[in-house]
């Protein structure tokens, strides 16, 4: 049986607007957590599912992604993988990865894609066999992370990397439920984008009923996310920036969002 047939992905809210994500393979019992905003919520999710945690993957060093790591590691004995750049910052790391490394977690072969900008250590985790990726605080639905440690050019290069490396049908999970606010901002950049209008309506409906707007897909984001669309002529036109580079247009959109 294909790995995609035996895999279940469980996403649940943590803290105010973070996500917890568990990937579970029924055949091998492998269970992978991505980021640990809080240990108690993860422990509850694991016990409800009856899953034993075997691996933890970390996207970056921010407190709202690693706060529960020590307790969860201690409670489960899971092996922790994370960015080599944060070896000094995250004491619980057992193995570290650099851009392009592949790690084996049970039956899953997982690729580390370095996507710096929000932080310098940021890793996006890609699991090709099940067509999913977790982009941490780099790519959000209809948005992208604030640029804290890198610069805007670096962030744009990271988003371009995701555009090139992740197929359109990849399911995208990320660190935060920011989609509703992102949709409002995205419409200020491309008010005439029909795909964006439809997605904004869908997001409004989902949030009104208390649901999650993630996962999304690369194809949805390519059609609607203004940050991923910085290279599109229509976006350059909408901003009155025709002839400028995608990196310059991305920087303008990021600046507008920071000041929104």
Strand ordering across the sheet containing 95-97: 7-14, 18-25, 31-34, 55-57, 79-83, 95-97
In the chain, at which residue ranges do the beta strands (DSSP E only) sit? 7-14, 18-25, 31-34, 55-57, 79-83, 95-97, 102-105, 108-114, 123-127, 132-134, 139-140, 143-144, 171-173, 216-217
Collapsing DSSP to helix, strand or coil, 225 comes out as coil
CB of 63 to Zn ion, least distance (A): 9
Which parts of 10-39 interact with Zn ion (CB under 5 A)? none
Q: How many residues bind Zn ion (CB under 5 A)?
A: 2
Quick one: 51 or 173, whose CB is closer to Zn ion?
173
At residue 118, φ and ψ (nearest 5 deg) are -60, -50
CB of 122 to Zn ion, least distance (A): 8
Which parts of 64-93 interact with Zn ion (CB under 5 A)? none
CB of 61 to Zn ion, least distance (A): 8
Question: Which residue in this structure is represented by tokens 């990726």?
Answer: 133
Quick one: 175 or 239, whose CB is closer to Zn ion?
175
Quick one: 137 or 221, whose CB is closer to Zn ion?
137
Binding mask 172-211 vs Zn ion (x if CB under 5 A, - otherwise)? ----------------------------------------
Quick one: 25 or 137, whose CB is closer to Zn ion?
137
Structure token digits, residue 82: 């994370």
CB of 137 to Zn ion, least distance (A): 4
Q: Using the rule CB under 5 A, which residue among 62, 85, 134, 199 binds Zn ion?
A: 62
CB of 62 to Zn ion, least distance (A): 4
Q: How far apart are CA 254 and CA 241, in angstroms?
A: 14
Catalytic residues: 60, 62, 64-65, 118, 137, 176
143-147 contact pairs (CB < 8 A, 24+): 143/178, 143/179, 143/181, 143/182, 143/185, 143/186, 143/225, 143/227, 143/257, 144/117, 144/118, 144/225, 144/227, 144/228, 144/254, 145/117, 145/118, 145/175, 146/118, 146/258, 147/117, 147/118, 147/254
Quick one: 99 or 149, whose CB is closer to Zn ion?
149
121 is a site residue for Zn ion (CB under 5 A): no
Quick one: 15 or 75, whose CB is closer to Zn ion?
15
CB of 56 to Zn ion, least distance (A): 17
The stretch near Zn ion (CB under 5 A) out of 59-67, 68-76, 188-196, 215-223 is 59-67
The angle that helices 39-49 and 69-76 make with each other, rounded to 10 degrees, is: 40
Binding mask 123-162 vs Zn ion (x if CB under 5 A, - otherwise)? --------------x-------------------------
Q: List residues binding Zn ion (CB under 5 A).
A: 62, 137
């Amino acid at each position: 049986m294909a790995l995609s047939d035996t895999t279940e992905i469980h996403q649940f809210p943590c803290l105010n607007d973070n996500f917890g994500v568990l990937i579970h393979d029924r055949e091998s019992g492998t269970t992978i957590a991505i980021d640990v905003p809080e240990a108690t919520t993860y422990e509850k999710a694991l016990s409800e599912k009856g899953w034993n945690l075997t691996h933890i993957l970390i996207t970056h060093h921010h407190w709202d992604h690693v706060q529960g790591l020590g307790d969860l590691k201690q409670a489960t004995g899971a092996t922790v993988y994370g960015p080599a750049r944060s070896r000094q910052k995250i004491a619980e790391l057992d193995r570290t990865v650099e851009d392009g490394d592949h790690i084996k977690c049970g039956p899953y072969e997982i690729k580390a894609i370095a996507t710096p900008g929000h932080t310098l250590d940021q890793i996006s985790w890609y699991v090709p066999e099940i067509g999913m990726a977790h982009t941490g605080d780099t790519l959000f639905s209809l948005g992208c992370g604030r640029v804290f440690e890198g610069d805007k050019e670096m962030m744009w290069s990271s988003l371009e990397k995701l555009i090139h490396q992740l197929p359109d049908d990849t399911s995208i999970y990320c660190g935060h439920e920011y989609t509703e606010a992102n949709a409002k901002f995205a419409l200020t950049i491309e008010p005439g984008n029909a795909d964006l209008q439809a997605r904004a309506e869908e997001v409004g409906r989902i949030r009104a009923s208390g649901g999650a707007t993630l996962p999304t897909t690369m194809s949805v984001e390519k059609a609607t996310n203004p940050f991923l669309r910085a290279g599109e002529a229509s976006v350059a036109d909408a901003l009155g920036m025709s002839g400028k580079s995608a990196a310059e247009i991305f920087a303008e959109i990021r600046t507008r969002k920071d000041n929104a």
